[in-house]
Every structure is written in structure tokens, then in C-alpha cells.
């Protein structure tokens, strides 16, 4: 890691809380402690180019959370609850500069 990488990772909380689309939620891990007051950025509709045509296809929604908020990696079937919405993690897309992106399904 470089000093720049460390600076970006340390500032991820400021980034997420500064966005108007962020909200506070609760993380429910299977068989692990609940984590409250998690900053969540929710993208309800995601699109990607259709590999078989010229249009776009809708993908699962996604959320982005601060990686450092969690002692362990977020796993498939873990759940988040925020703003009256409950989602189940379908896939962990990974950590990018201190923020983890998760494909989710609304339940």
C-alpha cells in the first residue's frame, strides 16, 4: 500500500456520508453479530449492455458500504435493512478503495 492508498481508504467514510443518496442501515450477518449504523449507498436500478443486442438489460440492484465497518468479509445471503428496505446479498463485488460493492436482491 502507498500513502495515497491509505489516505483514500481512511477518507471513505467522509465520501459516503457526504453523498445525498446515502442512508444509515443495519447489517445482519448469518451467525455473526449485527452491525448497526452502517452507511449505505443504494442503487435500486442497475443496467449493463445487452451482450446479445444493442440495448441495455437490468441487473440486480447494488449497495455500497464502507469496508472498514465490518470485521469480516460480507458473504452471500447476509442481509441489510435501511429506510424500510430489506435486501439479501447475492454477490460481493469486492473492495475498491475502502468501499465494498454488493449485488443485492430486495426481499
Q: How far apart are CA 107 and CA 104, in angstroms?
A: 9
Domain containing residue 66: 3-106
pLDDT, one tens digit per residue, over 68-87 is 999 999 999 999 999 999 99
User: Picking from 3-7, 62-66, 72-76, which range would have the lowest pLDDT averaged per residue?
Assistant: 3-7
The reported pTM is 0.73
- Domain with residue 94: its CATH number is 2.40.10
Find the helix or strand (DSSP H, E) in which 37 lies. strand 35-43
Number of domains in the chain: 1
Q: CB 11: neighbour CB atoms within 10 A?
A: 13
Amino acid at each position: 500500500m502507498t500513502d495515497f492508498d491509505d489516505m483514500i481508504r481512511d477518507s471513505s467514510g467522509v465520501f459516503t456520508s457526504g453523498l445525498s443518496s446515502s442512508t444509515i442501515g443495519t447489517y445482519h450477518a448469518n451467525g455473526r453479530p449485527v452491525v448497526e449504523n452502517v452507511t449505505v449507498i443504494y442503487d435500486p436500478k442497475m443496467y449493463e449492455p445487452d451482450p446479445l443486442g444493442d440495448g441495455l438489460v437490468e441487473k440486480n440492484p447494488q449497495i455500497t458500504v464502507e469496508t472498514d465497518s465490518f470485521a469480516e468479509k460480507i458473504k452471500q445471503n447476509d442481509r441489510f435493512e435501511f429506510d424500510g428496505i430489506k435486501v439479501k446479498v447475492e454477490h460481493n463485488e469486492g473492495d475498491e478503495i475502502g468501499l465494498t460493492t454488493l449485488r443485492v436482491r430486495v426481499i
